[in-house]
Each structure stands twice: as structure tokens, then as C-alpha cells.
Amino acid sequence: MKLTLWQRFTAPLTEPYARYQHADVLHAIRLGIAVILALSINKVTGLPHGEWTTITVFIILGLLQYQGAIYTKAKERVLGTLLGIGAALGVLLFSQKLGAWLWVDYALIGLISGIIGYIAVKQLGYIGLLTGITMLMIVSSPDRSNIGQDGLYRALNILLGTGIAVAATLILPLKSTLMWRFLLASNLETCSNLYAGVGNHIDAEVLIPKPFKYTKATSLASLIYPANSSVPDVPVNKSLVKALQKINKRLLAVRPHIDATASESGIEKETLETIQRTHRNIIGTIDLLLSAAPRLASIELDHDNHILLMHYQNELTQAMQNMAAVLRSPSDEVFRPITRIAVSEYPSVQHLAFEWQGYFWLTQTLQAQLQLLSDLLQTTKPSWFAASGLRYQRREQRRINEHGGETDLHL
């Protein structure tokens, strides 16, 4: 169903998938609104050192787009600020009660800074860094008459800026769990399109099943080879290279979402790392299959094994399409089992040319990787599905019903 101009314009404001596609622009809008809000609050309250409110908003939101990552950063900033205030007040209390000499104060501040630095490197990280910064902001002013008051005002403005940054995440919210799902789904869909084009190098007469379309830009049929090469070795088609670059770019884009998705969904980080590693292995196997296909064009393959290979290729193409559709679906769908491929059960494969045996082995490897990914996603589905937000599920379901009730799974 073709969207109207108004629907296309408002989609990023109402639909999470459209929001994912325009995340950079929406992030810029949200950051601008948050900075304006911080400046307005500074103007109304008139607190000294109000610049720290806007600075804090920019530090938290500047490089972070998604709620899970922003909440983690905000929590670390609040804890670091509070610990820094406590450390600074301890130093000031020690100086006032004992009337210590200046060099004793400096030695104590240096000792505490060293301890904080050691703990920051070992465990606390960003929290430890902010603890030290906040402490020094309070105790290291040359004018020691107002030292505590000025430092506390700065710390208060930091906490106020953190609150504004967290509140800003409710403006066009971007959930890391949804972004993680959509990035993984996009890569699986693109991989299936590339893999579907491999058949054209095996047999130009083989037709890829109609439900799984692939464009000329991503099809291996459009590859260009050097004129002096009778058996092509390396595809030089720029469109294919760009498609693989986009896949790898999305693979890298998943990495920043892992910690935040673990925080939002409660899934163990080790499990998400295993999913990411399997995701990367699937892309590597697809890349090897794409590289191997051109070399097979001139090597004979008997009819029975050809039918077997095309059957498995169609099955794996459908499997990747199905997994992408379930990841995008707002409904509680189930990942379907993937056809098991065991080359050892087909003795005739053992008598094929070495290149064809290798290709069958890669196909079997791809099946095992897809099955592992499917099992991991199905096991963790209750967690990441719930973390995507009930509002998202209900809104998307209503939109699908309005459009005739069809989803990617039906197509």
C-alpha cells in the first residue's frame, strides 16, 4: 500500500522502524530541543555556573542516540557526581577541622586522586573519572573562600543537566533493543538477496523463487570480469562491493547496542555477544560463497546434485527472509526450523570435483550458523520482544491491520 505524503512525513514520529531509518536526523532534533530546554531552565532559575547544565546535556546526548545507552551514561554521571561531592566534602572537612597546612591538603588531594584513578582503571571506568573531576572541581579553586559553595553549585547543575538529558529521551524515543532487531533483520534480508543471486553463476537457466526478489544492483548476474580471464576469480562489480560494505557497516553498528540492549531486555551480555559472533560468521560464509560461485561456472555438476544444491539454496534463502520478518514483526511470531543439511548423507557429493565439495561444505556451514542464530533468537525472544515496548507492539499491529493485515511473514 502506497503511503500518502502526510504518512511519509509523520512516519518517523509514529513508527519505530521509520524512526530507525531516520535516527540521525531525529537525534539532532532531540539534542537541539534538550539544549534549548537547559538554557531556558538556566534563565529561569538563575543558578550560578548554569553553563554546566548545558554542558552535561551535550556530554550525555551528544554521541548517544538510544535510550539504553543514554540511561547507562546518565546513571554513571549521577553516581560519579555524588561520589565526587562526598570525596570533596571529606577533604574540606579534614582541612577545616584539623587546620592542616596547604601542602598537607595538596598531598591528601593527590593521594585521593591516585586512588580514584586506580579504581577507575580497574573497575569504575567513567564513574571513577567523574568522581575525580567533581572532587577537583570543588576543592581546587584558587579562591578558597567560596570553594565549597561554587563547587556544589556546579555539581547541582550537572545533576540538573542529567535529568534534562534523561527527560529528552522521551522525545521521539529510540530504543536500543528495537535498533538491534532492525539492524540484524536488515543484514539477514540483504544476505538472503545476495545469496539468492549465487544461483545465476551455477546455472543461468535456474530461476530464483519469485517471493524472494533481488535487485540488479545486488545480483551476481551483473558482475563484470576482466576480459582476459576465461574463468573469473574475483568479482569486480562495484554494486556488489557496496552491498557488502553496507552489510559490514550495519554489523559494526550493532556493536554499540549490545550493552544497552542487555540493560533494556535483561538478556545476558554473553548471549548477545554469541548472537553477534554468529551474525558475523554468517556474513563471512556468504562472502566466501559469493567468491566461490564464479569459479564453479565452468566446472561440471551432475543433475541430481544440482537439484539438491538448488533445493538447499532456496531453503536457506527462505530461512534468512523468515528470520528477518520475525525480527521486524510486532507480533509474537516463532522462528521456524531450518532444513538440516548433511553432505555425508549424499555419497555422490563425495565424488564431485574438489571445488564443488567445498561449495557444498560452505552451504552446510551456513545452514548450521543460521540454525544456531535462530535457536538463540528464539530462546531470548521473550526478553527482547518485551523490551521493545508494548506501545510499539500495539501501534504496529494496528497499522498492519489498517493496511490489510499483511506482514513480511505473509508475503
The tens digit of pLDDT for each residue in 103-140 reads: 777 888 888 888 888 888 887 788 888 888 888 877 87
Count Cβ atoms below 10 Å from residue 342 Cβ, excluding itself: 8
**Distance between CA 48 and CA 167 in Å, rounded?**
22
Give Cα 317 distance to the centre of its chain: 23
The tens digit of pLDDT for each residue in 263-304 reads: 888 899 999 999 999 999 999 998 888 877 777 666 667 777
**Are residues 293 and 198 in contact, defined by beta-carbon separation less than 8 angstroms?**
yes
The tens digit of pLDDT for each residue in 25-84 reads: 888 888 999 999 999 998 898 888 888 899 889 988 887 777 777 888 888 888 888 888
**Are residues 303 and 199 in contact, defined by beta-carbon separation less than 8 angstroms?**
no
Helix axes 257-265, 67-98, angle to 10 degrees: 90
In the predicted structure, residue 376 carries a pLDDT above the cut 90: yes
Helix axes 147-168, 67-98, angle to 10 degrees: 170
